[in-house]
Amino acid sequence: MEFSFGPQRWLPKESLQDRIVDDDANENYALGLHAPGFFDKILNVDNCLLQSHPANKVLAAVQECWRDPQLGFSPYNVHSHKGFLKHLMLRTGRDVTTDQPEVMVNFVTSSYKPELLKFLVDKVSVFPEVVSVINNVNTSVGNTSVGEEEYTLYGKSSITETLRGLTFQISANSFFQTNTYQAEVLYKLIEDCAGVKGDDSEIVLDLFCGTGTIGLTLARSVRHVYGYEVVPQAITDARLNAKINGIQNATFVQGDLNKIDENFGKNFPKPDIVISDPNRPGMHIKLIKFLLNLRAPRIVYVSCNPATCARDLDYLCHGVEEKNIEGCYKLISLQPVDMFPHTPHIECVCLLELQ
């Protein structure tokens, strides 16, 4: 969960009578979630039903004290670009030996002031489930939670999670499916769609590989996996995850798949299976052209955005007439997976075969 700090609580109409009329402006500070469609309106959240109980204990501990004027904390103002605290990110994993929850607390701040954060670090690190406290420093005016610099203020720099029988290390900025139980369903479906022969003969190209979750689950039954990802920390995690699980037939490379050139593809043999799991904007036209020229027998396209998914599938199957690009794939199956119940958000797993 990513909670945001703000200088003013946003209240829905029905709660306006509850607003705090106080000379102390600090009491109107907010730590919570953005109102739908608003980057600058934050609904204060004291308890979040989506996250684990240990994570809620951390949230409550921070809410209890951060407004105290004597501590000197100021929430970041997205209009004036002043203030120290930007985001509180809480991730819950699981210790693979004890099966107990592991919580990572990530304070995203506008500058590096460990002495100022020390009170909050001490406050949250008393919980036995908290094994990692991180500080991401983001000096930009944007609202992103990814910092230019990262510091470990307490404990480990990552937490662990198990998926499909493998152990994964997850650092603060690495992507990992938030709904781990349903991720089991998602990755089983991806494995089924990949249709791996299981005779250690096939090459897999894993695009937007993140921490290597999909590629490593397939690596056990193929000749080699080649994974590409833009986030350097995710690639570091992917290599570590391969090592932790004793997988030696996986190569992970850091690079921006939106900026590929004519040399892309020269460092790996022609794949039998391509896995592509892009973020919401989908695949760049350069990458689509590359895949159409590559002509791998099967593509498993995993998408969290049905609109860009439909666009990219259309390009791969029917081409782009105005760009003189011909499609060469046929859509065999498409299965949505409900990753976030009670929301419109789904993952779609699509199988394409070369015509």
Q: Among all residues, which ones are annotated catalytic?
A: 304
- Please state, in angstroms and rounded to a whole number, the distance separating the CA atoms of residues 180 and 65: 31
Phi, psi of 216 (to 5 degrees): -70, -30
- Please state, in angstroms and rounded to a whole number, the distance separating the CA atoms of residues 197 and 50: 38
Q: Which amino acid is at 319?
A: G
- Please state, in angstroms and rounded to a whole number, the distance separating the CA atoms of residues 147 and 135: 8
229 in a labelled binding site: yes
End-to-end CA distance of the chain: 42
b/e map of 69-83 (b: 16 or more CB within 10 Å)?
Answer: eeeebbbbebeeeeb
184 in a labelled binding site: no
Q: Give the DSSP letter of residue 259.
A: G
208 in a labelled binding site: yes
The helix/strand/coil state of 323 is helix
- Please state, in angstroms and rounded to a whole number, the distance separating the CA atoms of residues 172 and 152: 10
Positions at the binding site for S-adenosyl-L-methionine: 177, 208, 229, 277
Positions at the binding site: 177, 208, 229, 277
